[in-house]
Amino acid sequence: MVTARPVGIVDGVDYQQTGLVRKIDVQTIRFALNSGAMVLLSPLGYSPTGEAFNLSMEDVAASTAIALDADKLIVLAETGGVFDSDGNLRREVSEAEAMQLLAGDTLPEDIGFTLRHALRACEGGVARAHIIPYGLDGSVLLELFQHDGVGTMLVEETLEALREAGPDDVGGLLALLRPLEEDGTLVRRDRGLIEREIANFTVIEHDGVIFGCAALYAFPEAGVGEMAALAVNPQVQGRGDGERLLQRIEQRARAAGLKRLFVLTTRTMHWFLKRGFVLASVDQLPKQRRGLYNWQRKSLVLIKQL
């Protein structure tokens, strides 16, 4: 199923029986898959004249993924991903970032080799390539079904986006907010209200799933804005998403000419105090918002100067 060609002589070195993939027999592979068989490809290829060549598994995997127009390429590697200069695993790398890393020649030789073939697969039409550790039990399942996975995922563009919400996000917002509304952390908002106020929301999305949100309600006559409905999925809390949402809401408020930002909270006072908010009173709220204050919830008022 794999036709190979020799590497040949490079810089005066004869690589003899070391080869490169020339062609993948897609038709035969698809026939086997459609018949319910599992196709195992070894790192060996044969020339049309019958010579056997030793191939790298990365070359075979990337070439096969491109030929089959696969959705994913998963490479089990010893290193298990791409690491930054501080030794931290990079969970996601875009094609452009991968090119920069390879051009910089700072990666260890083994991970650079793996990343180069993963990049070749993505450039050839494979949507995503994953580099995961083969020494971790269950690494394939952990990579595919956890939010951050356990390795490095190579994509055309980063899958995480901080952006303003649109009508298609209503369902995702409801799913994110509902648990916090049911335990009393947030005020309940029905679907119709969110649909009407969708332009007020900012969301953090990863691979099509909303993992965080916040809303800005402006009171321009008072030069004040309210940040409301700040929520981050419990699975990804502690990774700075709340901070990023706050910064975006502050940017939106400044762009609207607002001078102050306030929040009403019952359980997260200290989080806001650490980020420049100070305790205030209900009397300091804009008149329009003061009339809607829910005295039964007894929410604390915190204000920050922008």
Q: What residue numbers bound the domain in which 171 lies?
A: 161-305
| Average pLDDT across the chain, whole number | 92
Asked if 2 and 8 count as a contact pair (C-beta separation under 8 A), the reply is: no
Let me know whether 138 and 216 are in one domain.
no
pLDDT band at 133 (very low <50, low <70, confident <90, very high): very high
Cβ–Cβ contacts within 10 Å for residue 116, how many?
16
Domain termination residue (choose one: 158, 180, 211): 158
Asked if 53 and 43 count as a contact pair (C-beta separation under 8 A), the reply is: no
> Which pTM value belongs to this model?
0.60
249-265 pLDDT tens trace: 999 999 999 999 999 99
pLDDT score of 61: 97
List of long-range contacts for 139-144, beta carbons under 8 Å, 24+ apart: 139/76, 139/80, 140/74, 140/76, 143/74
Tell me if residue 216 falls in helix, strand or coil. Answer: strand
Domain termination residue (choose one: 99, 124, 158): 158
195-238 pLDDT tens trace: 999 999 999 988 788 999 999 999 999 999 999 999 999 877 77
Beta strand pairing status for 260-265 and 2-6? unpaired
Helix ranges restricted to H, 207-264:
241-255
Report the sign of the C-alpha dihedral through residues 146, 148, 150, 153, in that order.
positive
Per the structure, how many domains does the chain have? 2
CATH number at residue 218: 3.40.630.30
